[in-house]
Chains A and B, each alone.
Chain A
Amino acid sequence: MTSHAEPPPTHICGKCKVTLALGKVTATYLGSEFPIELWKCPGCGKVLVPEWLATGKMLQVEQALEDK
């Protein structure tokens, strides 16, 4: 999966009270792993999965993996 940069730079982690920053995360499903760049909390690592990703590319990849 390629990197996605969305423009909501002002999101704040509810626990750590710091602004989310782009960072490397790993998406896994059915034994497959994909490195991906998403907004996450520099403190606790909480990741934001935006709606467009969850209902778009992510769903496509999930379905493709399910049919493999």
Chain B
Amino acid sequence: MDREQVKRWEAQCIQEQPPACTTACPVHVDARKLVECVSRGDFEGGLAALANAVPLPRILAHICDHPCQTQCKRMEAGEAIEIGKLERACAEHGGALRETRAQTARNQRVAVVGGGLSGVAAAIGLTGRGYAVAIFEARPRLLERLRLMEESILPAQVIDAELAVLSRLGVIVRCNVLAPDSIAQEFDALYLATGPEPLGADPFGLSRNAQGRIQIDPLTLATNVAKVFAGGAQRYSPAPYSPIQSLADGNYAAVSIDRFLQGASLAANRDNQGAYPSRLFVNTKGIAASPAVRATGSYSKEEARQEAARCLPCQCLECVKVCEYLQSYGSYPKSYVRQIYNNECIVMGMRKANRMVNSCALCGLCTAVCPEDFSMNDVILDARRSMIRIGKMPPSAHDFALRDMAFSQSEAFALARHQPGFQSSLVAFLPGCQLSASSPEHVASCYEHLRKSIDGGVGLILQCCGAPALWAGNDEKFQQALNALEAAWSSLGKPRLITACSSCYRMLRDHLPQIPVEPLWPHLHRALRANNIPAQRTLAIHDPCSTRGVSEVEGSARALLGELGITTVELNEPGLTTCCGYGGLQLFANPELAEKTVARRAQQSDADYVTYCAMCRDRFAHQGKRAIHILDLVFADESFDPAARPDPGFSQRQEGRARLKTRLLQDVWGEKESIMESSIELSISEEVKALLETRMILVNDVRRTIEHAERTGDKILNPKSGWTLASFRPSCVTYWVEYSSAGAVFVLHDAYSHRMEVH
């Protein structure tokens, strides 16, 4: 995986972005954390969260003009969280703070002119960085402006207690004095925080604006004189007094002066200094509105806890909320990207994220719901391809699915023919291998209907589109599949394709754009008029994830259902369908997760489902959910209930494909293909069938194992039970089969497999 790309992916996921309350704050107080602490009754922790960003936290807690509250997402459901009051509660109930200590002393000296909030904050910030600081204040005391506030708003004792920190830090405080003219010579740098009034005479020769205030760079607080910085109300006046902005300027000045004295760039990496809009998306839909907790004066502990409990708290997790996969690994995409990248970089030791990489359904729902269009699909496919390139893809992850795909590409299924009696094809029907596997009779009916309704020759292509190889990250096999499909299309004279499979449609559109393709559904309207009476029933419609948001497919399926007399109930907003657990080969890499994925969808409605993907239908059936394929309605058979049809399972799927080809060759082209019917007749109980399915052992593999044993004598006999145990390794899996014979029939008792070779 490309490191730069990994970084871009990480940056695209916004879950770790600070919430709006934090980014609205000029010093980025972690208000979400503070509120969370209060909700647990941890006022000390809340105060510490404030102190982390704010010098003089207890003073600020009483007087902050809290711009955070103006951006609080709670306002979309009731009133903003009273963050200001909660800060005050932290100051009142939070006990003593851990004492700030001066850093190792540097030999440079900084003068601060003006002992208001901005000047004092700068002084604390600079002593924290190791500089010797002196404050010059013309009035009798520091923070004189704050002392004019009412006692109920800011008690004088809070000011005095908080200012005690200055003597601990060794700040020299000179009150009742004007800064000496020689100040520029005596100090290495200066911070002028002289309040809102226009500056009087100055010994530095500072540039002024039209109002006579100092011209100050808003980012760095630099003036036209290199060692002189200025800020606070002097900078932002005539805007009204803002305690948090004055204090923020003091913080910024400390950063700038430190950089100036260290010879570093003043402006570099300060893009997010000050307030900025948060990127964090917060969905407040469905959250019950609630008003703020009212109190006369400040909050009691209990009132504060109640108010804090109203915090959402802000986070995105839009994708995690809708995806069983993203939920099951306990984190969110940004963290997954890092885990996946680290997993790939392991040289020695276990790659613990392999299964996680192979468990994604690649359904694209995360991208559809993400405010920033993050695609887990892209990340996962890149990771799988990369694992294959470096030879670290677990061989068992997709082996079964790829062998099933190879079957569909083999002579057993693959076919490309013109309609009998035609030398060319106007169009060709591509049913897809899963519909052929699940409902071969529908494929035969569709092909018959298309031949009747379209003049000019309707060819047939039985072929796999390569989707399993794409999902497995196996570019080589995928390209081979695309080549085979393109060759089949070319052999029929490059006709327009009509497909019944959403995955085929998607593969062709995305990877073989030269092949014109359209869905089958609009072509069936005429079949209906001939055959059907509208059914008049209500079904919940499930769209397969492979054509998410493709209106040509989704719309045409709905139109057909409408004509069938079906009232469809939508299971989701347009474009937000979920996967059945087969997508991305989730079913093979993580069967337990695939169960949860399909169960989640199945539980969404009590209605019977209708879908136009054979695999989705069978996955629902596997889950015990009543589900109908759209073709079950078109070619309705009154004699049975299609919603109750069980999942055919892996073995029957392969057999279905093989039989479809044989049947079509016979019925349509009049060719009697002599298929090698196996001489082995098997009897398999439902219980053992289910076991085969879980263990991904095909009946065909069982048959081959028994054939091999009976032909060669390579078997083990159990005289006690009279059963035979045989093993066979056709490629990379050894199959073990335990059976007995009852006349000409072999009764299967057990089957298991392993990949290890034993000699």
Contact = CB atoms under 8 A, between A and B. Distances in A.
Interface string A44-62: 0111110100110011011
Contact of A49 (B714, B720, B736): B736
Given A54-B736, A66-B394, A14 B715 contact: yes
B40 interface: no
Interface of chain A, helix or strand or loop or mixed?
mixed
Contacts of B715: 14-15
Interface in B698-741: 709, 712-720, 724-725, 727, 734, 736
A68 B756 CA distance: 15
A5 interface: no
Interface in A1-57: 8, 10-15, 20, 25-30, 36, 38, 41, 45-49, 51, 54-55
Contacts of B351: 67-68
B288 interface: no
B716 A48 contact: yes
Interface in B731-758: 734, 736, 750, 752-758
B758 A63 contact: no
Contacts of A49: 727, 734, 736, 754, 758
Name the residue among B715, B716, B725 with the largest chain A CB count within 10 angstroms: B716
B3 to A, nearest CB: 23
B354 A46 contact: no
Contacts of B480: none
Contacts of B349: 68
Contact of A14 (B724, B754, B757): B724
A54 B735 CA distance: 10
Contacts of B712: 15
B352 interface: yes
Interface string B354-393: 1100000000000000000000000000000000000000
Contact of B709 (A8, A14, A51): A14
B106 to A, nearest CB: 52
A58 B396 CA distance: 13
A2 B51 CA distance: 59
Contacts of B755: 29, 62
Contacts of B695: 55
A14 B587 CA distance: 38
B759 A67 contact: no
A51 B709 CA distance: 18
Contacts of B754: 49, 54, 58-59, 62
A40 B282 CA distance: 64
Contacts of B717: 11-14
Given A10-B719, A13-B716, A28 B757 contact: yes
Contact of A15 (B350, B354, B714, B759): B714
Contacts of A14: 709, 713-717, 724
B734 A12 contact: no
B395 interface: yes
Contacts of A12: 716-719
A42 to B, nearest CB: 13
**Size bracket, chain A contacts:** 20 to 34
A46 B712 CA distance: 13
Nearest to B395: A66
Contacts of A64: 350
Contact of B354 (A8, A20, A67): A67
Given A14-B714, A67-B394, A68-B351, A62 B756 contact: yes
Contact of A54 (B709, B716, B719, B752): B752
A49 B754 CA distance: 9
A57 B204 CA distance: 81
A25 to B, nearest CB: 6
A53 B746 CA distance: 25
Contact of A27 (B714, B736, B757): B757
Contact of B756 (A20, A29, A46): A29
A29 to B, nearest CB: 4
B753 A54 contact: yes
B370 to A, nearest CB: 29
A10 B720 contact: yes
A19 to B, nearest CB: 9
Contacts of A54: 736, 752-754
A64 B351 CA distance: 9
Contacts of B713: 14-15
Contacts of B709: 14
Nearest to A25: B758
Nearest to B726: A14
A33 to B, nearest CB: 10
B495 to A, nearest CB: 44
Contacts of A68: 349-351
A15 B726 CA distance: 12
28 contacts: A8-B718, A11-B718, A11-B725, A12-B716, A12-B719, A14-B713, A14-B717, A14-B724, A15-B712, A26-B758, A27-B757, A27-B758, A28-B759, A29-B755, A30-B395, A36-B758, A41-B716, A45-B759, A48-B716, A54-B736, A54-B752, A58-B756, A62-B755, A66-B394, A66-B395, A67-B351, A67-B354, A67-B355
Given A14-B717, A29-B755, A58-B756, 17 more contacts: A8-B720, A12-B716, A12-B718, A14-B724, A15-B715, A25-B758, A27-B758, A38-B758, A41-B716, A49-B754, A49-B758, A54-B754, A59-B754, A62-B396, A62-B756, A63-B394, A63-B396
Interface of B: 349-352, 354-355, 394-397, 695, 709, 712-720, 724-725, 727, 734, 736, 750, 752-759
Q: Shortest 9 CB-CB distances between A and B: which pairs? A: A66-B394, A14-B715, A54-B754, A29-B756, A12-B717, A15-B713, A27-B756, A67-B351, A51-B752
